[in-house]
Structure 1
Amino acid sequence: MSTTPALFRRLGRYYAFYVVGFIGLVGLLAVAEQFGLSARWIGQIFLFATIAIYASIGVMSRTSDVSEYYVAGRRVPALFNGMATAADWMSAASFIGLAGTLYYSGFEGLAFVTGWTGGYVLVALLLAPFLRKFGQFTIPDFLGARYEGHFARMVGVFAAVLASFVYVVAQIYGVGLITSRFIGVEFEIGVFVGLAGILVCSFLGGMRAVTWTQVAQYLILIIAYLVPVTILSYKVTGVPLPQVMYGKVLQDLGVKELELFSEPRENEVRAQYRYRAEEYARKISDLPDSLVAERMGQVQRVTELRTQGAPARDISAAERTLRDLPRTPDEARLKWERVRQDSLARTVHPAPHAQPHPGVDQAGRNSARNNFIALTFVLMVGTAALPHILVRYYTTPSVSSARRSVFWSLFFIFLLYVTAPAYAVFAKWEVYSNLVGSNIGTLPHWVTSWGRVGLVKVEDINGDGILQLAELTLNSDVILLLVPEIAGLPYVVSGLVAAGGLAAALSTADGLLLTISHSLSHDLYYKMINPQASTQRRLVITKSQLLVVAVVAAWVASLRPDSILLMVGLAFSIAASAFFPALVLGIFWRRANKWGAIAGMIAGLGITLYYIMRTHPFFGGNMGDAWFDIHPISSGVFGVPVGFIVITIVSLLTPPPSAEVQALVDYVRLPDRIGNVHEAAK
């Protein structure tokens, strides 16, 4: 079925009513808050109402047609596919993590904005229209046809599942953060509550349901993202245009930073953290004797408190400290090293927000600049290689629609990314101006509530009762969710932001889970194991694998593996090194053959995974072993060139592809008229 003006108008009418209804819900909750509706009820209504909307769309879009389930019948208009792609793209990393990264990294965080937006230029120029013209269901489909056989397809399935799984764990982790804070359940329970919303959207209707749900999710997330910072901009500057006005606030922030960093008590606090780091260094060097002495000292303290008849609260705290002591020297070494590193980080002032690439080592190398360039590169090519994004361009009616869809995707993403730096600047201004220097006994309620979730921490290390900057810890994943509360805005705005963050996480999780299940069911089961499988059996296999993968991803997310943005960055490195060279050379170089592609994908992915394990602490790695001081999040900077080199060399040393495959390359790459002439000549 082709896209018609009538379909476009009907969709526009539906979503216009939807936006008006959602704005009406926000208005009603704002009025209800003024009449005493509790914050807990507001958070629950926002989250459950939006999940109910997404679930309703998913149920109404259920289908048993293979084309509808895998590629939404290839009839999604470019404008709406652009919205769906933007929602699929703007994950919890963009919505929740980006503002926090810019808050802490300042100028360096712009690598994410530059890389992610620049990646869509590569998608438009190098991949989207050609993959749409190829016209299959998945990226491993392209690899299997272009590189002649199941070997390349199998490598593609493995890489697609690995990259998408790491990515989806980050999304479900974000869902857990939001639900645990705003509906008051344990983090682990919140993860599985969010999982139910994800499954209802994708389980019954596949890509068809996910597409129309993602359009609805984009509309909510962009409203939720723009409203708080617009209000904050008006509060701070008197002008409700944060994208324009944050430059002036950034100048004032620079002055505030100089004042704060020269404050005597701030320097005193940082000196005390230096003493703590030195103390833990001594403890580590004296193991195992230091652990024995620590345990004996804590036992003695508990005994003294009980003998003196100390308050039960003090005795309980001492007992908890004793209980939490490491049990073995190895455990103590790991735990104390983390404390030492944290203390060392607090001994130095953060770099000024607007300072580019701070820090040059003794050899004259600027590792910050090197990492900025490497991260920008990886995010660009990773964007152009993520299977769950590329498959969205299979859903448009034509090649020209795919091109227009990329434009709309970039436009809708731009609306959020141009606002993210403003979020970071306004949030930091509020913290530096109104929170730092406050009496610890009178800190706002949000400090305690987010502290229970473990994302905000205050430590009065010098005992003066005043909060210094070094004594405050804000997890980067919580900055955006905190902005309404930091600014003292009504709680309905906090609920709106939570609903937007949930929409971002759910939309991306839906797309990723579909990518994993489609790779396993379509490419592995149908194409390789049972090509005679009926349509019904294929859909049953897809849905069962979707359910299994979702539960496993939720279980991993419940373990709180790492920050959202870091996990997403690792997924980009994996996708970039595995897919980008094989896809680009497969489209633009007829001589690339299956042995080159297989060797290139394995070599690129292998070097990336090796570097991650070599340098990431989670795998026992050490940044001291890094090459050129490149962080593990940018490991794809090594895998991508290796992939290109290996594909080129191996392809030239082995026989060329068949004439049929070379004709396929011409058909996919050349305009229709030229491609048809070439095929006729063949």
Structure 2
Amino acid sequence: MTDAGPNLIPLIIVTLALASFIVAGLRARARSASDYGIGGRYIGRIGGGAAIASNWMSAASLLGMGGLLYLHGYYALAYVIGWTGGYVLLLVLMAGQIRRFGKYTAPDFVGDRYASPMAGLISAGISITISIIYCTAQFKGIGMLFGWLFGTGYRNGVILGAVVVVGYVIISGVLGVARNQQLQYTLLIVSFILPLMVLAYKLGYFWVLPQFGYGVAIQDLKREFGINFAAPFASGSLFQWISLCFTLMVGTAGLPHVLSRFYVVPNIRDARWSLVWGLFFIALIYWSAPAYAVFARLLEARAGMTLPPAAAEKMADLIVIRTAVMGGLPPWMIGILAAGAVSAAFFTVAGLLITGASSFSHDIYYRFINPRASETTKMALSKAAVVALAVVVLVIAMDPPGLIAEITAVAFALAGNTIFPAFLLGIWWGRANRHGVIAGMLTGVVITFSTPLFGRFLPVVADIFPLTSSAFFGAPAVIAVMVAVSLLTPPPPEEVRRFLAEQVHGHMD
């Protein structure tokens, strides 16, 4: 896929799709700091579920997951199981209780629950770091897609995409994003599944539900070409697979921009039902990604053009688009698929930049520097923070450190080692205090980045705390630190414990 010029028809379709979102965003453009991630508007259970799903359907989901499945087969199902399982974990353990606290951001929750501005500040710093790492993966997807669409280099694609994303966020804010998320999910589900159905039909498989029909293609790969796509641990050990699954699960339950969806629902039942609907919508996409990977392998094998490992890895993040091209789909259908992928990356970046900006303007500036700041000042800082974060991400994304889904997994590891334990014990253990959460979060940061920090001197660290899978041992270690430090220090204020007992766990609404 090294076209010399722009892919005109897909480019037109992608432009029209993005223009429709921008028009919708302009109708709901942000006018206060609350529109930049602090608060928001409730849009119903099903609408909230669609917003959760579209907020979740990033470049890692529509591009990166297919790429990893294409490279590693069964082993990469850890991403499917981990990401969907994380929503089940969130539904069971935290969704309703988070709503009861009524805080607007993850740092708000941590700061108020533990009665510690310092804990809130550390949480804000972690939230910003998560946003930067996660955005880097999305920028890579945007750069590859825009480079393909315009027939230009990767770096030019990243720059162009960054300008468009930042412009949209500054203009419309989170209300535009939230409204658009329902429209976006409709585009995502159509753009991802319709081409897959046509591919399955052209290849002679069960096309009505290609998510089930591709199993026959796996058998054909093995019978015709000796490619065992379903070999369980050909690309990694059982321990690595379980560690990755666990890390992605607890990371999902700890991502700040996912948790923030539950602050705007009116009651605990709506919080839970929004999550149930979101999980259903997410599953529709996740059931489809493996089919693209299998069809890609089959089309390559039948054409006698199987790529060497290095070339395959370089192409993996665009394998979904490449499969559509190899399958001979018409340009307009490839354009629809590209529009879904672009919008997924586009709006995930928007949500992450908003989350990062609100952490700075509200949780850092307003709480610590200028508590009397006006809405105008907070608004200006939010916009400036969006630009600053985008510049940082752009610099990192110019030379991305890995595949889209691999970069994303690092953000999940950080969330699973820090935010998740803070929320879990903050909700379910009244004795957890500010000393414990501060010690725990700082320990989680060190654990997350222990491989690049200490791996060269202590190789065993990389085995215990892999960069993308460190929460398997890391999250329990952080919980143990929080428990030990909390028991060795004074308990939290009595009013906090009473609020937990009476308001969070004391009744049902």
Q: Is the 8 A contact 1:116 1:379 kept in 2?
A: yes
Q: Aligned match of 2:351 in 511, 515, 530?
A: 511
Q: Aligned match of 1:242 in 196, 210, 213?
A: 210
- State the alpha-carbon separation in 2 of the partners of residues 402 and 65 from structure 1: 25
- Structure 1 unmatched ranges of 5 or more: 1-37, 261-351, 360-366, 438-457, 459-468, 616-620, 675-682
User: Which letter does structure 2 place at the counterpart of 1:95?
Assistant: L
Q: Deviations over 1:157-216 (max 9, x none)?
A: 111111111001111111110001112233222112212332233223322111112222
Please tell me whether residue 180 in structure 1 is matched to residue 161 in structure 2: no
Q: Deviations over 1:512-570 (max 9, x none)?
A: 10110000000001111111111221111111111211122122212333211111011
Go from structure 1 to structure 2 and tell me whether the alpha carbon gap of 1:238 and 1:116 turns closer, same or farther (over 3 Å shift): closer
SS of residue paired to 1:633: coil
Which residue in 1 is equivalent to 2:504?
A: 669
Which residue in 1 is equivalent to 2:107?
A: 140
Provide the TM-score with structure 1 as the length reference.
Answer: 0.71
Q: Aligned match of 2:293 in 410, 424, 427?
A: 424
Which piece of structure 1 moves more, 58-67 or 582-591?
Answer: 58-67
User: Which letter does structure 2 place at the counterpart of 1:56?
Assistant: V
- State the alpha-carbon separation in 2 of the partners of residues 200 and 216 from structure 1: 19
- State the alpha-carbon separation in 1 of the partners of residues 452 and 41 from structure 2: 38
User: Which letter does structure 2 place at the counterpart of 1:492?
Assistant: W
Q: Deviations over 1:282-304 (max 9, x none)?
A: xxxxxxxxxxxxxxxxxxxxxxx
SS of residue paired to 2:60: helix
Go from structure 1 to structure 2 and tell me whether the alpha carbon gap of 1:88 and 1:490 turns closer, same or farther (over 3 Å shift): same
Q: Is the 8 A contact 1:131 1:668 kept in 2?
A: no
Which piece of structure 1 moves more, 502-511 or 39-48?
Answer: 39-48
- State the alpha-carbon separation in 2 of the partners of residues 129 and 668 from structure 1: 12
Q: Among the aligned pairs, what percent are the same residue? A: 36
Q: Aligned match of 1:573 in 413, 417, 423?
A: 413
Which residue in 2 is equivalent to 1:283?
A: none
The 5 Å alignment of 1:318-357 reads 352-357=228-233
Which piece of structure 1 moves more, 116-125 or 390-399?
Answer: 390-399
User: Which letter does structure 2 place at the counterpart of 1:658?
Assistant: P
The Cα of 1:71 is off from its aligned counterpart by 4.7
Which residue in 1 is equivalent to 2:225?
A: 257
SS of residue paired to 1:156: helix
The 5 Å alignment of 1:247-396 reads 247-258=215-226, 352-358=228-234, 368-396=237-265
Q: Is the 8 A contact 1:225 1:416 kept in 2?
A: yes
The Cα of 1:68 is off from its aligned counterpart by 4.3
Please tell me whether residue 555 in structure 1 is matched to residue 395 in structure 2: yes
SS of residue paired to 2:312: strand
Alignment root-mean-square deviation, CA: 2.1
Q: Is the 8 A contact 2:205 2:216 kept in 1?
A: no
Which residue in 2 is equivalent to 1:502?
A: 342
Please tell me whether residue 489 in structure 1 is matched to residue 329 in structure 2: yes
SS of residue paired to 1:162: helix
Q: Deviations over 1:231-256 (max 9, x none)?
A: 11111225312112111111111113
- State the alpha-carbon separation in 2 of the partners of residues 100 and 496 from structure 1: 19
Q: Is the 8 A contact 1:86 1:410 kept in 2?
A: yes
Runs of 4+ in 1 over 6 A off after TM superposition: none
Which piece of structure 1 moves more, 76-85 or 505-514?
Answer: 76-85
Which residue in 1 is equivalent to 2:312?
A: 473
- State the alpha-carbon separation in 1 of the partners of residues 133 and 195 from structure 2: 30
User: Which letter does structure 2 place at the counterpart of 1:571?
Assistant: A
The Cα of 1:472 is off from its aligned counterpart by 5.7
Q: Is the 8 A contact 2:59 2:137 kept in 1?
A: yes
Provide the TM-score with structure 2 as the length reference.
Answer: 0.94
Please tell me whether residue 81 in structure 1 is matched to residue 48 in structure 2: yes
- State the alpha-carbon separation in 1 of the partners of residues 252 and 462 from structure 2: 24
Q: Is the 8 A contact 1:576 1:636 kept in 2?
A: yes
- Structure 2 unmatched ranges of 5 or more: none
Higher radius of gyration, 1 or 2: 1
Q: Aligned match of 2:303 in 423, 430, 434?
A: 434
- State the alpha-carbon separation in 2 of the partners of residues 115 and 546 from structure 1: 29
- State the alpha-carbon separation in 1 of the partners of residues 409 and 113 from structure 2: 28
Q: Is the 8 A contact 2:422 2:441 kept in 1?
A: yes
User: Which letter does structure 2 place at the counterpart of 1:424?
Assistant: A
Which residue in 1 is equivalent to 2:171?
A: 204
Q: Is the 8 A contact 1:91 1:508 kept in 2?
A: yes
Go from structure 1 to structure 2 and tell me whether the alpha carbon gap of 1:583 and 1:668 turns closer, same or farther (over 3 Å shift): farther
The Cα of 1:650 is off from its aligned counterpart by 0.5
How many residues align? The count is 503
